[in-house]
Amino acid sequence: MVELLLHPGFIKDKEPELRPELPLQGRILYVLRNGEFSKSAIAEKIGHKTVSGELNKQVRNLIKAGLIEYTIPKNPNSPRQKYRLTSKSQNIETKK
């Protein structure tokens, strides 16, 4: 079981790149609240120039935790792959 502690600011409407106090997982979840995005689009929205190893690692962790999912589950390495929130992540309550 993976427990993610999210900063209370996760639910505010500020752009994630302006919110460096959020952990990377929280910023990824924040971005995906607005729809489906590729890793490169997620990286851009959180203020990274490229997809880092840490971003890849956190995306994998979020998939394993069941908080995000592939849009093309049968082909996870597709160049058109995007990610979206699962119903589990949409029901997360922020822990204080």
Tell me the per-residue pLDDT of 29-38, one tens digit each, with 9 for 90 and over.
Answer: 999 999 999 9
Alpha helices in 1-52 (DSSP H): 24-32, 39-45
pLDDT at site 91: 73
Q: Given this model, what pLDDT does residue 51 score?
A: 95
Mean of the per-residue pLDDT values for the chain?
82
As for how many domains the chain has, the answer is: 1
What pLDDT score was predicted for residue 45? 94
Range of the domain at 56: 22-89
Q: Is the pLDDT of residue 5 over 90?
A: no
The CATH number covering residue 57 comes to 1.10.10.10
Question: Would you say residue 54 lies in a domain?
Answer: yes
Alpha helices in the chain (DSSP H): 24-32, 39-45, 53-64, 87-90
DSSP state of 23: -
Q: Is the pLDDT of residue 55 over 50?
A: yes
- Nearest Cα neighbor of 60 from 32, 83, 41, 79 is 83
Specify burial of residue 70 (Cβ count, 10 A radius: 0-12, 13-18, 19+): middle
